[in-house]
Amino acid sequence: MENVSKTVLPNGLTIVTEEVESVKSLSVGIWVKTGSRNESIEQAGITHFLEHMLFKGTSKRNHFQIAQSLERVGGYLNAFTSNEHTCYYARCLDDELELALDVLCDMVLNPTFPAEELEKEKKVVLEELKMYKDQPDDVLFESFVGDLFKGHPLGRPIIGYEETIKAYTRDQLYGYMTEYYQPWNLTISLAGKANHEKVVELVSKMFDKASSDNEQKISSPLTPYTPFSLKLKKDVEQTYYVLGKRSLSISDDDRYKLLLANTVLGAGMSSRLHQNIREKHGYCYAISTINQAYEDTGIFGVYAGTDKEYVDHLRELVYKEFESLQTVLIPENEFHDAKQQLKGSLILSQESMSNRMMRLGKSELYFKRWVSLDELSERIDNVSAKDVLSFSKEFFDTKSFSEARLIPTEA
């Protein structure tokens, strides 16, 4: 039984918790509903850079004290930035609840952005940018997504560009925080051994001086999508290949049909793509699907690394699997197994307090309510093989797909 509670403070900050009595730990995160899609072109990458800078000092802790705070009691502190949200999170023993909340709230409420740390962190992020440019799959995906959402912030890399990173100032960082890091735009989620009322009491004290202007920010409308073909070259051994399209939003009712189609197609070693392309033909070491949902759109695709001589064969085999989903009812036993695989992975993920905290936070950010495992399982069970067949006829139309390949320089 999921013991989930929710409180919205008078200033608009939302607190959601799931109390799990059987553990001795907890995971807590502060979520900010802002990501790279909220940036102007001049700000590109600032959400990610700000995430780095919040670890560099507050009015009562320097960067080392922040780093040491949870580690010295056996826990850890981290953060990540996505296209649509930023999360600062901690994992620790249950008796360190107040410490974890104090450190996270201090970082979000009282950053100082020391000038020396600002310039140092620019170097760090530029090195991170170079690291991505050395990774063939990152280079390919950045270019593919850039064309998939051409002219829209979703098409820009979360890390930003060299010229924007070098230009960030303290005033820009404070300005961005003033705009988005307000209680109405924050959610605190916690999973583990912690009493909800105690969490609310602690957070209320820490945010007692924080107020909201109640100005809701609206994301940029999507730009039109036209299928494309993209070819890049890099000094690599394999050809890296992605075939994909814009997909469903996170609130689309058809997403459960897509989840099941995706499971049959590319989830794991027993999937059709793995069995019929790797195992049967040996055309690749790994092949998988991409299924990413955003608030108003998504990305679906197939990704593989293969020899340049096999790319066209691989693509035709992928299209053959698309055609099968469009024309042939998924056999009863395979469809049953796909449902069990999907539900099983959801349940297994709940063994981790960090995963529970993440699901709590995302559920609140996207749906403003708790979406229980029972509800998810019911939605999955309610999808029939005929539903997936009908959905696939349009969704897997090959004319709607784009492709990108990164090929060896000498090819």
Query: Is 128 a known active-site residue?
Result: no
Contacts of 177 (CB under 8 A, 6+ apart): 50, 111
Phi, psi for residue 360 in degrees, rounded to 5: -60, -50
- Read off the tokens for 148: 């998939």
Question: Are the C-beta atoms of residues 60 and 110 closer than 8 Å to each other?
Answer: yes
Helix/strand/coil (H, E, C) string of 251-295?
Answer: CCCCHHHHHHHHHHHHCCCCCHHHHHHHHHHCCEEEEEEEEEECC
Q: Which of 39, 51, 84, 96 is catalytic?
A: 51
Residue 12 CA: distances (Å) to CA of 215, 216, 381: 11, 11, 36
H/E run at residue 4? strand 4-8
Residue 118 CA: distances (Å) to CA of 41, 86, 122, 317: 21, 19, 6, 50
Dist CA 162 CA 126 (whole Å)? 7
- Which positions are annotated as active-site residues? 51
